[in-house]
Structure 1
Amino acid sequence: MICHGDFGPWNVVWQGLQPAGIIDGDYARPAPRTHDAAHALESVAPFWDDAECLRWLHYPAPPDRLARLEDFCSAYGLDSTAGIVDAVIAKQQDNANLVRRLAEQGQEPHATWAANGLLTELDNRIAWSEAHRHLVE
């Protein structure tokens, strides 16, 4: 299976409320099907604290993360949500490791992201996900 690698609402072309296409395949590669689901669920469930949901994702109120996760998995065609929380946390860690490695190599935009504090933000999201997994299980 070829996965997008950075699948989320930011890489969807929208016509009103309907998706019309997917863009930005920089990280496309062979991976298990749950790879893209886990990546998208980080921001769709979301696996972010309430303040980030309100400020960055423009939610009007803290979301019902479990209901959103279950709806997403069902629409994505997954038979179960078993293991998906672990997959999201693993994907968050993989993403942080990738940004860290590319930043250390001086690759852009990763070096700038790291200099601007993204790695701390990513580490904080991982810690939040681990501490609040009860909201999505």
Structure 2
Amino acid sequence: MVDHQVLQDDPHRQVVRIGDTVRRPMHPWSPTIHELLQHLESVGFPYAPRLLGIDADGREVLTYIDGESGGAAWAKVVEEAGLVAMARLLRDYHDAVRSFRPRAESGWAGCAGRFGANDLVCHGDFGPWNLVWRGTQPVGILDWDYAWPAPPVHDVAYALEYVAPFRDDDVCTHSLRHPTPPDRRQRMERFAEAYGLTTTAGLVDEVIAQQHHVWLRARQLAAEGRQPQVAWQEAGVLDEVAARIRWSRAHRHLFA
């Protein structure tokens, strides 16, 4: 058993493993996220960590999910098996959370928290790196801090930005583990089908819209003095995100 292992050494958000638990820093919106995790446990959703409490250092204590995540996850979605499994997991999550409405008044990260008629609690950061993988099967979902109320297609679009992906050929082959430039349109269609959508009509616009919403949220959190968004802004990361949005708009022909 691991006694103490640093899983994320970000100076603003250190995450450590102690035994079979993970310790993470709290945020103002953590009570809402805790309520979400408790709901998922109550309905038997097996892919989210269980909340065990708050430790003496004021960190949330979660169950540890064994497997690969982070940078190793990019290779998992290159092949169709991983791509499809990720889409199906997202649909399973949405089905599990569809009726959930939090009672906590702590709100969400960078979001007022009002629910529209067709909204549910999206994970908000559903990328391959935030999944725990065993082979090509995802067995857990990590990092729920950016969950927020939105239409389900927001999570679909967020995932597609990274797994279609909405990146140029150089990034796809050098950073995202694709051996050759991907067939983005085909990958988008396969992900959408596996999730349960009957058409990809409008999905490119949804991806661009979620890119813009996430960029606005990061800017809002930076304006509130939140980390790591302040550091991102100072390092020019948010400018890079704006450039990605411009790339998506200019290259929509690759996807539709």
Name the TM-score, length of structure 2 as normaliser.
Answer: 0.52
- 1:125 aligns with 244
Counterpart for residue 78 of structure 1? 197
Separation of aligned partners in 2, 1:79 and 1:131: 26
SS in 1 for 2:132: strand
| Higher percent of residues as strand | 2
Structure of larger gyration radius? 2
Which residue in the other structure is 1:87 paired with? 206
Distance 1:19 1:27 in 2: 20
Q: Which runs of 5+ in 2 are unaligned?
A: 1-119
> 2-side partners of 1:61 and 1:116: how far apart?
30
- Aligned identity (percent) is 55
Q: What is the CA distance between 1:3 and its match in structure 2?
A: 1.3
How far the C-alpha of 1:55 sits from its partner, in A, is: 2.4
Report how far residue 57 of structure 1 moved. 1.0
Pairing 1:3-82 to 2, within 5 Å after superposition:
3-82=122-201
- Give a deviation string over 1:55-107, Cα, whole Å, max 9, x none: 22121111110000000000010111011110000000111111112112221
SS of equivalent residue, structure 2 residue 198: coil
- AA of the residue aligned to 1:3: C
How many angstroms apart in 2 are the aligned matches of 1:25 and 1:34? Answer: 17
| More helix, by proportion | 1
Give the superposition deviation at 1:31. 1.7
Query: Structure 1's 114 and 28: CA in aligned 2 closer, same or farther, altered over 3 A?
Result: same
Aligned-residue Cα RMSD (Å) equals 1.1
The alpha-carbon deviation at position 7 of structure 1 amounts to: 0.6
Could you say which structure has the greater relative contact order, defined with CA pairs below 8 angstroms and 6 or more residues apart? 1
Number of matched pairs: 137
**Which runs of structure 1 show a deviation greater than 4 angstroms over 4 or more consecutive aligned residues?**
none
State the SS of the aligned residue for 1:19.
strand
| Structure 2 residue aligned with 1:135 | 254
Matched AA of 1:11: N
Q: Secondary structure at the match of 1:21?
A: strand
Distance 1:52 1:84 in 2: 22
SS in 2 for 1:47: coil
Q: Give how far 1:131 is off.
A: 0.3
Q: Tell me the SS of whatever aligns to 2:133.
A: strand
Tell me which amino acid in the other structure corresponds to 2:248.
S
* Structure 1 residue 50 displacement after superposition: 1.4
